């Protein structure tokens, strides 16, 4: 049984990764319904929080049905990070997660996200200060290192644990790789196999099938899998993995009717939360996967990502339900 602080998260939990403009409350709710054990918010700028920037503050919205939920923050300035912890605590999350892994240039250039992998001492210092500043468990998401020549993840993980980090999720790529090539899980297993490590070590990167999740659990011996891209527009992925764990067989994929129903709910919840314009725009990235692999879907998908009026979008989804009603996967 893996525990983050005092929170039981189950045997080999499946965690929804924090993803910018993806891991919002509507999507987190859908993933939770479909078997995600722990969900994380989109990453939130500590500087944005202390400036009371509307977009950053909005990301603090969490709901009871999501628990356990972690709010993820990023930054490189100690004072700003500590002040943001106090703001985050007011939202009553279960976990505070620090992003030491985002490879995006605008984040890295400020020394935040994966940028801090160039300064491990600062990474440890920030983590220690945040642990001391809150009663909530503090966790870390990071990468193997800045580049191939600077991978010290076994030492880094041990140092983070020693200053009070409650769990660590490691993406199996360096910052230099961005999302290219294959994720390397061997160094993550080395972290887990370090006899001094006693906190959960979660793997991230390329968990894109139930078989890969089994491999992460059984071959690499990790404590859980953090799932990102495989879940975009496909919240069913979590339950499909769990079904495979239990039975060794693949769960039947959702029917067209189920996909349409969830896509509609997703759009409706997004509009309720973000307003019509943003709700419509930010749901678009999910439509490809909601209807992935369906022959002749392309013209419908094109309309879904170019239509602005919600009533028209619901109409297109109804058309898909009727047109492909007998489609089998």
In a domain, 46, yes or no: yes
Strand partners, 224: 202
Q: Is-contact 17 238, C-beta < 8 A?
A: no
Domain shared by 265 and 236, yes or no: no
Domain shared by 262 and 114, yes or no: no
Contacts with 60 (C-beta within 8 Å, 6 or more apart), sequence order: 41, 44, 49, 71, 87, 88, 90, 91
Boundaries of domain holding 156 = 2-247
SS3 272: helix
Catalytic site residue 102? Answer: yes
Total domains, the chain: 2
Residue where one domain finishes, among candidates 213, 247, 281: 247
Domain shared by 276 and 230, yes or no: no
In a domain, 130, yes or no: yes
Residue where one domain finishes, among candidates 223, 247, 271: 247
> For every one of its 329 residues, what pLDDT tens digit does the chain have, with 9 covering 90 and above?
899 999 999 999 999 999 988 999 999 999 999 999 999 999 999 999 988 888 888 888 998 889 999 999 999 899 999 999 999 999 999 999 999 987 788 888 787 888 889 899 999 999 999 999 999 999 999 999 888 888 999 999 999 999 999 999 999 999 888 888 899 999 999 999 999 999 999 999 999 999 999 999 999 999 999 999 999 999 999 999 999 999 999 999 999 999 999 999 999 999 999 999 999 999 999 999 999 999 999 999 999 999 999 999 999 999 999 999 999 88
**Pairwise CA distance, residues 41 & 51, whole Å:** 19
Q: What pLDDT does residue 206 have?
A: 96
Residue 83: CATH number of its domain: 3.20.20.70
Which is catalytic among the residues 31, 81, 95, 102? 102
In a domain, 98, yes or no: yes
**Pairwise CA distance, residues 86 & 314, whole Å:** 41
Domain shared by 157 and 84, yes or no: yes
Domain shared by 154 and 287, yes or no: no
List, as own/partner pairs, every contact residues 290-295 make where C-beta atoms lie below 8 angstroms and the sequence separation is at least 24, other chains included. Answer: 290/233, 290/234, 290/259, 290/262, 290/263, 291/259, 291/263, 291/320, 292/233, 292/234, 293/329, 294/256, 294/324, 294/327, 295/327
Residue 315: CATH number of its domain: 1.10.1200.80
């Amino acid at each position: 049984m893996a525990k983050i602080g005092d929170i039981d998260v189950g045997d080999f939990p499946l965690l929804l990764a924090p993803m910018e403009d993806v891991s919002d409350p509507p999507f987190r709710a859908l993933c939770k319904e479909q078997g995600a054990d722990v969900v994380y918010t989109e990453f939130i700028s500590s500087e944005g929080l202390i400036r009371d920037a509307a977009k950053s503050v909005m990301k603090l919205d969490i709901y009871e049905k999501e628990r356990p939920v972690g709010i993820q923050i990023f930054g490189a300035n100690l004072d700003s990070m500590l002040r943001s912890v106090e703001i985050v605590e007011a939202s009553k999350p279960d976990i505070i997660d620090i992003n030491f892994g985002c490879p995006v240039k605008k984040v890295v250039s400020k020394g935040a996200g994966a940028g801090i992998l160039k300064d491990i001492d600062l990474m440890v210092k920030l983590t220690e200060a945040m642990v001391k500043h809150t009663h909530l468990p503090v966790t870390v998401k990071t990468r193997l290192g800045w580049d191939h020549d600077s991978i010290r993840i076994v030492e880094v993980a041990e140092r983070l644990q020693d200053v009070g980090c409650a769990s660590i999720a490691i993406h199996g790529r360096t910052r230099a790789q961005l999302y290219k090539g294959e994720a390397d899980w061997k160094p993550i297993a080395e972290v887990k196999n370090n006899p001094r490590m006693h906190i959960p070590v979660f793997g991230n990167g390329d968990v894109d099938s139930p078989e890969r999740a089994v491999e992460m659990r059984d071959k690499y011996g990790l404590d859980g899998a953090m799932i990102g891209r495989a879940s975009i527009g496909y919240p069913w992925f979590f339950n499909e993995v769990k079904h495979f764990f239990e039975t060794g067989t693949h769960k039947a994929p959702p029917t067209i009717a189920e996909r349409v129903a969830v896509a509609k709910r997703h759009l409706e919840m997004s509009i309720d939360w973000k307003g019509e314009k943003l709700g419509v725009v930010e749901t678009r990235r999910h439509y490809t996967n909601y209807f992935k692999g369906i022959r002749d879907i392309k013209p419908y998908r094109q309309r879904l990502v170019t239509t602005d009026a919600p009533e028209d979008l619901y109409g297109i989804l109804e058309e898909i339900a009727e047109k492909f009603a007998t489609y089998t996967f």
